Amino acid sequence: MMITSTTKLVGLLGHPVGHSFSPLMHNAAFAEKGLPFAYAAFDVDPARIGEAIAGIRALGLRGVNVTIPHKVAVMPYLDEIDPLAAQIGAVNTIVNEQDKLIGYNTDGPGYVRSLTEETGINLQGQTVTIVGAGGAARAVAFSLAKQQVKEIRLINRSRAKAEELAEQLSAILPAVVVEAEQSKEAIANSGLLINTTSVGMYPNVADTPIAAEWLHRDLIVSDLIYNPFKTRLLALAEENGATAHSGFGMFINQGALAFELWTGLDAPAELMRKTVLDALRQAV
């Protein structure tokens, strides 16, 4: 798409952003839909995030995605926070509605969309074990709570962080912190296991957050990592007869939901998926 004087600008605020596939993915989607939009990546020093948000207003950007380390820091500068983003405590998408900046979190809903589409799981009544208690875990946990899962169990190195998340979740559904020695038992009668940590991410591809013998064939094992596309944890899941689910779909769907918030149109999710997959293959 040619950039003209009527092009609407969106983008990504992060630090760093040079590794991001978001510009490639979104610009392909805008071109596919014939929309006068362009997406750029902005490397914003944390000390200047307030100036960056002011720039959205001053320059009339339609909106932005927000990534590490700004997802929490942007919140005080916004006019309104979507209830789910407020629960999660982080924003990854901002929409500029006639100079009113509204913060959303599409990470959790993007994950749920990916999980249900790719595995066919019925989340209602499921017992879920989550490894990790950071920002990604919060996004996933609160989004799963909206799907009426039965219980969420948290395994995390920092007990205090897990207890804080469990306490907040407990206002919605049963949520417990699992002691290290109880992890195997907690997973044994769970239907869904989710790794939200960076354990197993490139270049430490041999690492896994869960012992192989804890996995079983009645389990869906989901790993938010998508580099590598199939982590060691997912490979072990398949070897033990479990269903494996990659975090790649979460990345695509969180972007698709942001696209829909900015444009009001259905996102070409399959094209977005193919665009990023092709780029990943070329990068190997």
106 is in an annotated binding site: no
Residue 247 counted as an annotated binding residue: yes
Q: Is 254 a known ligand-binding residue?
A: yes
Secondary structure of the chain in HEC code, one letter for each residue:
CCCCCCCEEEEEEECCCCCCCHHHHHHHHHHHHCCCEEEEEEECCHHHHHHHHHHHHHHCCCEEEECCCCCCCCHHHCCEECHHHHHHCCCCEEEEECCEEEEECCHHHHHHHHHHHHHCCCCCCCEEEEECCCHHHHHHHHHHHHCCCCEEEEECCCHHHHHHHHHHHCCCCCEEECCHHHHHHHHHCCCEEEECCCCCCCCCCCCCCCCHHHCCCCCEEEECCCCCCCCHHHHHHHHCCCEEEECHHHHHHHHHHHHHHHHCCCCCHHHHHHHHHHHHHHHC
222 annotated as ligand-binding? no
Q: Is 132 annotated as a binding residue?
A: yes
Choosing from 71, 150, 161, 184, the catalytic residue is: 71
> Binding site annotation covers 42?
no
198 is in an annotated binding site: no
Consult the annotation and say whether 259 binds a ligand: no
Is 161 noted as a catalytic residue in this protein? no
Residues 215, 212: Cα–Cα separation, whole Å: 6
Q: Is 92 annotated as a binding residue?
A: yes
34 annotated as a binding-site residue: no
Residue type, 32: E
Question: Is there a binding annotation on residue 168?
Answer: no
Q: Is 240 annotated as a binding residue?
A: no
The reply to whether 45 sits in an annotated binding site is no
Active site residues: 71
Known binding-site positions for NADP(+): 132-136, 224, 247
Known binding-site positions for shikimate: 20-22, 67, 92, 107, 226, 254
Known binding-site positions: 20-22, 67, 92, 107, 132-136, 224, 226, 247, 254
